[in-house]
């Protein structure tokens, strides 16, 4: 199993991702067929675990980010600008060209209503896709 860091750093400028050994053969074959037929391919990365979303897609100019991320914030000068408000983490430079070619979309700030600040409930909601399922898990 590849680590998330290794996976993301292997993204190439053309948007192809090296997944040898980590994606079932069926998916690799479907992607190859779609590529040969010039179909669009949607790749969704759900980074379960300790991904720090605010330091992946960085709101470097946001005063609240600067105020509350004193020790671990990414400086705008070090990051890769996507637009006036958002930046990529410096180690994701290979994704910048994909963004510039309009081959990368970022859905930023995804959440759900009435978040109760429980990591366990949030994980259950994300995995089930059902906000109403919160109470049955009995956390927080």
Question: In the chain, what are the domain boundaries?
Answer: 4-109, 114-140
The pLDDT assigned to 59 comes to 92
The pLDDT assigned to 140 comes to 45
Dist. CA 46–CA 32, nearest whole Å: 22
Phi and psi at residue 37, to the nearest 5°: -95, 5
- The beta strand positions in the chain, using DSSP E, are 57-58, 80-81, 87-88
**What Cα–Cα distance (Å) separates residue 76 from each residue in 6, 81, 83, 87?**
24, 8, 11, 7
Strand order in the sheet with 80-81: 57-58, 87-88, 80-81
The pLDDT assigned to 115 comes to 78
Read off the pTM: 0.56
Q: Are 75 and 60 in contact (CB under 8 A)?
A: yes
How would you write the pLDDT of the chain (140 residues) with one tens digit per residue? 556 566 555 553 334 444 444 455 666 666 666 666 666 767 766 666 667 788 889 999 999 999 999 888 999 999 999 999 999 999 988 888 889 998 888 887 777 887 777 877 877 787 787 877 665 544 44
């Amino acid at each position: 199993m590849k680590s998330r860091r290794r996976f993301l750093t292997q993204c190439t400028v053309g948007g192809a991702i090296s997944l040898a050994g980590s994606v079932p053969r069926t998916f690799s074959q479907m992607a190859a067929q779609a590529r040969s037929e010039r179909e669009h391919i949607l790749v969704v990365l759900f980074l379960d675990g300790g991904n720090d979303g605010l330091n992946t897609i960085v709101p470097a100019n946001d005063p609240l980010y600067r105020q509350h991320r004193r020790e671990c914030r990414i400086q705008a000068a070090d990051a890769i600008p996507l637009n006036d408000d958002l930046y990529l983490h410096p180690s994701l430079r290979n994704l910048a060209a994909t963004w510039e070619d309009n081959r990368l979309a970022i859905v930023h700030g995804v959440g759900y209503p009435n978040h109760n600040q429980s990591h366990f409930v949030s994980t259950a909601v994300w995995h089930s896709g059902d906000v109403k399922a919160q109470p049955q898990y009995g956390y927080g």
